[in-house]
């Protein structure tokens, strides 16, 4: 029986990246649907849960993606609300790689050094990756702040993570190089999760900082999020600090994403969201 993955995307065009990884993770067919929301997803879920016998339902699964993590979270809840005993399929949430990228970055940082009690600043942490990474580090026992160019965005991101994970994050405004340098002054760990191709930190802002022990950057497109590092850095020491570049931890992200897709087809009960994906990342890291 063919393994079918239904890619439910909150954006107009289902993510090509997610389609490729879905095939590489073991799906036989990937069927993408765009512009989905809680109001229009019901019939698609019904089609997934009613069509196969109990023993073979594990060969149908749902992947939720898109650039908006809040919309993704709402779609995951709506999909699950259509399930009832005996009629459900496995489902995974990974809007913009939020869970798999965040989990890989945080698991690699945690594999280098304990995060417990550390002061962490997630620069430009208001996107899907930054929000989830901040929450995961807080769950690991770190004291985490999220910066944004606009304090309101940072406050909204912290409130969203409080609502979802019951973690206390601190919102900070850091709109330019000077404010970002000030935001990381007392930090032990810095993670940059800004938009593709945006430099957030210059070398002189971190290289001589005596408090900083580790830095990681999610942005693989030049210019990198952190000046003075290499995208391939894999826990490399630079200026006495442990550095994880975007491709340095990106190989774990891809392996993790594929492993999660494979896991979806193990049975029809899986709900792969941040907690389970992060646990898997720590095992794989």
Considering the complex, state which of residue 25 and residue 194 has its C-beta at the smaller distance from ligand NAP. 194
Candidate list 4, 124, 135, 212; residue touching ligand NAP; CB under 6 A: 124
Cα–Cα distance, 181 to 135 (Å, whole number): 22
Greatest alpha-carbon span in the chain: 62
Nearer to ligand NAP, 96 or 270 (CB): 96
CA distance 132 to 67: 13
Q: Does 269 bind ligand NAP (CB under 6 A)?
A: no
Contact between 168 and 138 under an 8 Å Cβ cutoff? The reply is: yes
The yes or no reply on residue 65 touching ligand NAP (CB under 6 A) is no
Comparison of 65 and 127: residue with beta carbon closer to ligand NAP: 127
Q: Which single residue brings its beta carbon nearest to ligand NAP?
A: 127
Give the C-alpha separation, 251 to 257, whole Å: 10
The first and second tokens of residue 263, run together, are: 């896991």
Binding pattern for the stretch 146-165 against ligand NAP, x by CB under 6 A and - elsewhere: --xxx--x------------
Secondary structure class of 29 (helix, strand, coil): strand
Among 253, 272, 273, 278, binds ligand NAP (CB under 6 A): 253
Q: Smallest distance from the beta carbon of 113 to ligand NAP, in angstroms?
A: 20
Could you say whether residue 126 binds ligand NAP (CB under 6 A)?
yes
Task: Report, in Å, the least distance between residue 122 CB and ligand NAP.
Answer: 10
Query: In the 8-state DSSP scheme, what is residue 54?
Result: G
> Is 51 an interacting residue with respect to ligand NAP (CB under 6 A)?
no
- Least separation in angstroms between residue 46's CB and ligand NAP is 31
User: Which CB, 8 or 48, lies closer to ligand NAP?
Assistant: 8
Q: Tell whether residue 248 is a contact of ligand NAP (CB under 6 A).
A: no
- H/E stretch holding 80 reads helix 69-81
Give the pair of three-digit tokens for residue 159. Answer: 């409130």
**Under the criterion CB under 6 A, does residue 274 sit at the interface with ligand NAP?**
no
Q: Which of 218, 229, 260, 261 binds ligand NAP (CB under 6 A)?
A: 218
Answer yes or no whether residue 66 interacts with ligand NAP by CB under 6 A: no
Q: State how far the Cα of 157 lies from the Cα of 124, in Å rounded to an integer.
A: 11
Spatial contact of 165 and 135, defined as CB atoms under 8 Å apart: yes
Q: Which of 59, 77, 104, 108 is nearest to 261 (CA)?
A: 59
- Number of Cα atoms under 13 Å in the Cβ half of residue 7: 27
Distance CA 132, CA 279 (A): 14
- Which of positions 74-93 make contact with ligand NAP (CB under 6 A)? none
Which residues lie near ligand NAP (CB under 6 A)?
96-97, 101, 124, 126-130, 148-150, 153, 193-196, 198, 218-220, 246, 250, 253
């Amino acid at each position: 029986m063919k393994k079918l993955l239904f890619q439910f995307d909150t954006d107009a065009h289902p993510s090509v990246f997610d389609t490729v990884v879905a095939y590489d993770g073991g799906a036989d067919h990937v069927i993408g649907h765009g512009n989905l929301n809680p109001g229009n997803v019901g019939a698609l879920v019904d089609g997934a849960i009613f069509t196969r016998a109990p023993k073979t339902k594990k060969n149908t699964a749902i992947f939720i993606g898109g650039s908006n993590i809040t919309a993704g979270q709402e779609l995951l809840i709506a999909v699950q609300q259509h399930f009832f005993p005996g009629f459900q399929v496995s489902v995974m949430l990974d809007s913009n790689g939020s869970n798999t990228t965040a989990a890989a970055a945080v698991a690699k940082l945690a594999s280098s050094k304990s995060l417990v009690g550390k002061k962490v600043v997630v620069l430009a942490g208001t996107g899907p990756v930054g929000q989830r990474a901040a929450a995961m580090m807080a769950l690991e026992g770190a004291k985490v702040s999220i910066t944004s160019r606009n304090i309101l965005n940072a406050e909204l991101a912290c409130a969203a993570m409080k609502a979802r994970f019951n973690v206390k994050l601190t919102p900070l405004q850091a709109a330019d190089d000077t404010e970002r340098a000030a935001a990381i002054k007392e930090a032990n760990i810095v993670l940059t999760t800004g938009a593709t191709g945006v430099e957030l930190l210059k070398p002189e802002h971190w290289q001589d900082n005596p408090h900083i022990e580790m830095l990681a950057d999610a942005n693989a497109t030049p210019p990198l999020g952190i000046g003075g590092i290499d995208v391939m850095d894999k826990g490399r020491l630079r200026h006495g600090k442990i550095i994880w570049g975007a491709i340095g931890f990106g190989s774990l992200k891809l392996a993790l994403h594929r492993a999660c897709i494979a896991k979806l087809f193990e049975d029809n009960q899986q709900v792969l969201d941040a907690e389970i994906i992060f646990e898997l990342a720590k095992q794989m890291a």
